[in-house]
Amino acid sequence: MSAIPAPHAPPPVTQERLGRLQAAVADLDPTALYWASGYLAGLAADRARGGIASAAAPSARATVVYASQTGNGRRLAEKLGRSLAAAGLGVVVSSAADYAPRQLAQERLVYLVASTHGDGEPPDDARALIDLLGGRRAPRLASLSYAVLALGDSSYPQFCATGRQLDERLAELGARRIADRVECDVDYETRATPWIEQAVALARSELGESAPQLASVTTLPVPAASLASREAPLEVELVTNQRITARSADRDVRHLALALPDRHFEYEAGDAIGVVVDNPALLVDQVLSLTRLDPTQSVTIDATTAPLGEWLRARREVARIARPLLERLAERSGSEELSGWLQPEQAARLRATLKEQQVVDLLRRFPASWDAEALVRALHPLAPRLYSVASSRREVGDEAHLTVAVIDYTHGGEHRVGPTSWQLATSPAGSRVRAFVEPNPRFRVPVDGARDIVMIGPGTGVAPFRGFLQQRQADGARGRNWLIYGGRRRERDFLYQIEWQSALKKGSLHRLDVAFSRDQAEKIYVQDRLREHGKTLYAWLDSGAHLYVCGDAERMAPDVHATLIGVIAEHGGRSHEDATEYLNELARTRRYARDVY
């Protein structure tokens, strides 16, 4: 998208003002640009009516604000935005990271789509909004009407905590809740779809004739019909399947290259590739055997009818366990032990169970009588697996590279695998898989190539930084690149070691620090390297560097976040509170971005 008008249509502003406008939007992603276009359209309409352009201009439209870590919240917010526009209502959709929280005091109708990441953590893009609303300087919101759609994972004790926190705080500040909060589990579509329908009907009632007819103003990016998407994955060819850890390593990690159809599979460094596979036949057969159900029996769920065998093969999770299955199984089996696992004080045990066991383990341990429909309803929809892109198209052309750790372990004497990673690992070159692009607009290299970047990526978390480095090289970026990598053993699982060392010699990678936890008696992690080089790290950050973290959300990311606050406090001469605010400000200005899972 170019900000420069065509030559035959000179801009109705001076070159100086056009230059200022281009500078103001230079670092905005597409979502933020569309938000700005809607906002400016509202100001234009206000002035055309003879009004005074002010921050109050958006008050006669609906604003949809989303806080999303993995993209689900963004997709639902965009779906709501399209539905509102189709109903002829003015609407602007914005990431919480791009939304000015104080604008809430001027809004008339706001819909919040808020995800909870992990055990009660807000998405990174929601921190500024939550900080303002939770503080003493929060504005009174007596003129605001709102509704909240909360997303989460019920396997965590603090299910939908972010949405609940925002909902309750808006009410405390005087805003009027026009619909009860709806909380969605991993299979969010079943509850989100009727909420969106209700939201559109309520917007008509709330805005009425005062709603500006801005449906013709594009407020959302409209993907090309041919673009590979979650709703329409495309078949691609697997052209490379190479193990990049030693045979003696604890994990089998694969470098995969997918050949992409031209013009159908656009991605940028920082995005993810979603892979869709069917469940292994052996696993499906085990579920059918344990439940003694007929795979040919027809089951209808939400207007979709298919044989039970197809539901289990291609439509439902039979490897991953979700809380609804535990709840239904506890009821049907009458097991007090299983019911105890669901209590808050057993949260740690429940998380371990969900990570270590699969559906067949529970069905075998807690026998119960099932009918086909009840079983299908107790299982979560089969979800694609997302892998960070480990390449830049500017370097590899019509390919996408992935770094995949194969899930392969033994539980209770039985072999267990992750359906997607195992199928990818065992597929020879020439095989075909269904895939799509999952955009991650908040995880991008700086627009300004002169900026330095610091990349923290233990294990497969290093994948997107391979793409970052390729893109920076292709762009001729002048900024320095610093990689901090962590693994278990240097000789066994130093992923892409030769590439990093080559980049160091060529000068495209300016600094490489590594932490291998098991090469010495005392374990060393990436956060130890951050503390060790804290003075240099703070100097980079204070000079404008961008900071990126990718990897495990449960342990690594919180530990790294806490370490960064400590480094900023120590070397910046700040209190813990001020250091926390410094890091939050980096996040608000898109200089601190995390891709954690």
DSSP 75-98: HHHHHHHHHHHHTT--EEEEETTT
Instruction: Compute the 3-state secondary structure of the chain and give helix, strand, coil in percent, each to the nearest 5.
Output: 40, 20, 40
Exposure string of 395-404, with b = 16+ CB inside 10 Å and e = fewer, is bbeebbbbbb
- 60 in Cβ contact with 33 (< 8 Å): no
Q: Note the pTM of the prediction, 2 decimals.
A: 0.85
Q: What pLDDT score does 413 carry? A: 86
pLDDT of residue 352: 80
Distances in Å between the alpha carbon of 190 and those of 150, 161, 542? 13, 20, 46
In angstroms, the CA 382 to CA 80 distance is 23
Which residues pair with residue 301 across a beta bridge?
304
Looking at residue 369, its pLDDT comes to 96
Residue 117, SS3? strand
Among candidates 563, 391, 546, which has minimal Cα distance to 466?
391
Per-residue confidence in pLDDT tens, the chain, 597 aa: 333 333 333 445 555 555 566 656 655 655 455 456 555 554 544 443 333 233 334 556 899 999 998 788 999 999 999 999 999 898 999 999 888 888 999 999 999 999 998 778 888 888 888 888 988 889 999 999 999 999 998 877 788 999 999 999 999 999 999 999 999 988 888 899 999 999 999 999 998 754 454 433 334 444 444 477 888 899 999 999 999 999 999 999 999 999 998 777 889 999 999 999 999 999 999 999 999 999 999 999 988 999 999 999 999 999 999 888 999 999 999 999 999 988 888 877 887 888 888 999 999 999 999 999 999 999 999 999 999 999 999 999 999 999 999 999 888 888 889 999 999 999 999 999 999 999 998 899 999 999 999 999 999 999 999 999 999 999 999 999 999 999 999 999 999 999 999 999 999 999 999 999 999 999 999 999 999 999 999 999 999 999 999 999 888 999 999 999 999 999 999 999 999 999 989 998 899 999 998
Contact yes or no for 271/259 (Cβ under 8 A): no
The pLDDT of residue 18: 58
**What is the C-alpha radius of gyration for the chain, rounded to an integer number of angstroms?**
25
CB-based contacts of 271: which residues, under 8 Å, 6+ apart?
388, 389, 437, 438, 439, 440, 443
Tell me which amino acid residue 163 is: G
From CA 7, how far away is CA 450, in angstroms rounded?
30
Backbone phi, psi, residue 421, to 5°? -65, -35
DSSP E strand stretches across 194-352: 234-243, 253-259, 272-276, 298-301, 304-307
pLDDT of res. 17 = 59
Q: How far, in Å, CA of 103 to CA of 101, rounded? A: 5
Count the neighbouring beta carbons within 10 Å of the beta carbon of residue 524. Answer: 16
Give residue 2's pLDDT: 32
Residues 6+ apart with CB under 8 A from 434: 233, 234, 235, 236, 275, 276, 277
Separation of alpha carbons 146 and 64, rounded Å? 10
Distance CA 228, CA 260 (A): 10
Is the C-alpha dihedral spanning 281, 286, 287, 292 positive or negative?
A: positive
Which of 498, 530, 496 lies closest to 513 in space, CA to CA? Answer: 530
Q: How far apart (Å, rounded) are the C-alpha atoms in residues 22 and 367?
A: 65
Q: What's the confidence (pLDDT) of residue 25?
A: 65
Position 22 scores a pLDDT of 62
Separation CA 446–CA 590 (nearest Å): 9
pLDDT at 204: 92
The pLDDT of residue 597 is: 86
Distance CA(318)–CA(309), nearest Å, equals 12
Query: Exposed e or buried b for every residue in 221-240, given b needs 16+ CB within 10 A?
Result: eeeeeebbbbeebbebebee
C-beta of residue 597 within 8 angstroms of C-beta of residue 552: yes
Structural domains of the chain sorted by starting position, each given as residue range(s) with its CATH number in brackets: 15-210 (3.40.50.360), 234-278+384-438 (2.40.30.10), 281-378 (1.20.990.10), 453-596 (3.40.50.80)
Helix ranges (H only) for 125-267 are 127-134, 161-172, 189-207
Tokens of 195: 């909420």
Q: Helices marked H in 334-397 — which ranges?
A: 336-341, 347-356, 359-365, 372-378, 393-396
H helix and E strand count, the chain: 22, 21
